[in-house]
Amino acid sequence: MFSFIITILPMFVCLFWGIAIIPALCTERKKHHAVLTIFLATVSLLYFGHCIYFNHKNELIPISDSIYSFCNLAVYPLYLCYIKSITTNSKKLWQTVFLHLIPSLFCSICILLTYISMSPSETNIFINVFLYKGSITELSGKSLIMAYLHFICRIVFAIQIPYVVIV
């Protein structure tokens, strides 16, 4: 019970602050409020994926892993867009947000489609062998493709961090 509370608390904190910003967004209609709300919603979904994973809700992992993959790759670019929204008066902010989210969307769609094409036994093997044990040696077929997709996500993430820090 304690571990469940610990894993779900960050999600609710971000969700609370995301909801708390909505009245300011509705009254002031400033871009930075909108970007911050999107950022906090994304972080809440990221922590939802953590909650599913750490509480071993394996039946929900195919859905949450696809969402997690998007959110994990979207958090730093959204943070960058938030900083741009409060420091510049760019008219192309929403184009920038969309361009920064293309890798996140692409990776999460690939992961979702691979999960859909996997059989339940392949999915269980992938979850238990790769996600929980971190091994790739026992994987084959679509579960191996899924592991490679996760490695690609790690590479994209590793490229995003220096880019966001430098910009």
| The predicted structure's pLDDT at residue 38 | 86
Identify which has the larger pLDDT, 8 or 110: 110
- Classify the phi-psi angles of 141: left when phi > 0, otherwise alpha if psi is within -120 to 50, otherwise beta: left
Query: Which of 106, 30, 97 lies closest to 70 in space, CA to CA?
Result: 106
> Among candidates 130, 104, 126, 101, which has minimal Cα distance to 115?
126
From 51, 50, 45, 57, select the one nearest 127 (Cα to Cα): 57
Percentages (nearest 5) of helix, strand, coil residues in the chain: 85, 0, 15
Q: Does the pLDDT value for residue 20 go beyond 90?
A: no
| Least confident among 112-116, 137-141, 143-147 | 137-141
Q: Which two tokens stand for residue 52?
A: 């599913």
Range among 11-15, 32-36, 152-156 with highest mean pLDDT value: 152-156
pTM for the model stands at 0.84
pLDDT tens digits, 41-60: 999 999 999 888 888 888 89
Which of 80-84, 95-99, 150-154: highest mean pLDDT? 150-154
Residue 108 confidence (pLDDT): 94
The CA distance from 112 to 81, in Å, is: 26
Q: Which 3 state secondary structure label does DSSP give 101?
A: helix
Amino acid at 17: W
